[in-house]
């Protein structure tokens, strides 16, 4: 079959577009500049005494027996491995690493975190260490850096230019863990 109107050609009903010559846009990338750096332990650390470990082992044995009777061996093996990890983290002193604040983000050792990933910050204290805590958009949702007490105000001034200083309230799990930790000997 042939079309009814052979002679008609289809014309575009769109208005003619003007073709502008694109102008050059120069993007000036700012080089990364170190604003502040310090050397501190990789994590907060507190040496524990014998009474603390006896209490932890007693609690572990009781919970382990309950788990053994109700669930079997696998939860008990998991519990033992977690207690072993806890023991190692509390007996081996952390290494000292270099922390850097730059105009592009935070560097911890060789790992860099961009400012776009960080939401807010605050300074807190755990054991005998001051911690610079950042809220993040990525898991686990928090990044903690050990800082020197003398550097607190300088760090606040520098970081405030990039993100806000605002403490996130503790979650229910955080509150429960803190309550339990205060009940253990040596955590007063």
Q: Under a CB-based contact definition with an 8 Å cutoff, are residues 144 and 86 in contact? A: no
Contacts of 32 (CB under 8 A, 6+ apart): 102, 103, 104
Contacts of 55 (CB under 8 A, 6+ apart): 184, 185
* pLDDT at res. 14: 54
DSSP calls for 106-147: EEETTEEEEGGGEEEEEEEEETTEEEEEEEESSTTSEEEEEE
| pLDDT, mean of residues 101-129 | 90
pLDDT of 22 higher than 90: no
Helix (H) or strand (E) holding 36: strand 34-41
Percent of the chain with pLDDT over 70: 86
Nearest to 147 by CA among 119, 126, 170, 177: 126
* pLDDT at res. 11: 52
| 11-15, 17-21, 107-111: least confidently modelled range | 11-15
Structural domains of the chain, with CATH: 34-167 (2.30.29)
Q: In this predicted model, what pLDDT tens digit does every residue of 116-156 receive, in sequence order?
A: 999 999 999 888 889 999 988 888 888 999 999 899 999 99
Q: Who has greater pLDDT, 10 or 22?
A: 22
pLDDT, averaged across the chain: 84
Q: In this predicted model, what pLDDT tens digit does every residue of 51-81 receive, in sequence order?
A: 888 888 999 999 999 999 998 899 999 999 9
Give CA angle at 91 (85, 94), nearest 5°.
90
User: Which tokens belong to 120?
Assistant: 């807010």
40 pLDDT tier (thresholds 50, 70, 90):
very high
* DSSP helix/strand/coil, 46: coil
pLDDT of 6 higher than 70: no
Helix (H) or strand (E) holding 9: none
């Amino acid at each position: 079959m042939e079309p009814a109107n052979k002679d008609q050609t289809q014309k575009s009903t769109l208005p003619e577009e003007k073709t502008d010559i694109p102008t050059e846009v120069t993007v000036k990338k700012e080089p990364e500049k170190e604003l502040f750096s310090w050397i501190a332990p990789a994590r907060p650390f507190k040496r524990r005494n014998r009474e603390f470990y006896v209490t932890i082992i007693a609690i572990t044995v009781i919970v382990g027996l309950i788990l053994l009777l109700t669930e079997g061996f696998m939860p008990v093996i998991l519990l033992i491995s977690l207690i072993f990890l806890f023991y190692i983290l509390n007996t081996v002193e952390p290494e000292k690493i270099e922390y850097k604040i730059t105009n592009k983000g935070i560097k911890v050792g060789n790992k860099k975190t961009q400012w776009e990933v960080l939401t807010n910050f605050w300074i807190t204290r755990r054991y005998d260490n001051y911690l610079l805590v950042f809220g993040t958009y990525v898991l686990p949702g928090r990044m903690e850096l050990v800082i020197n007490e003398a550097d607190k105000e300088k760090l606040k001034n520098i970081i405030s230019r990039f993100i806000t200083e605002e403490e996130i309230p503790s979650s229910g799990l955080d509150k429960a863990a803190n309550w339990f930790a205060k009940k253990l000997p040596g955590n007063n």
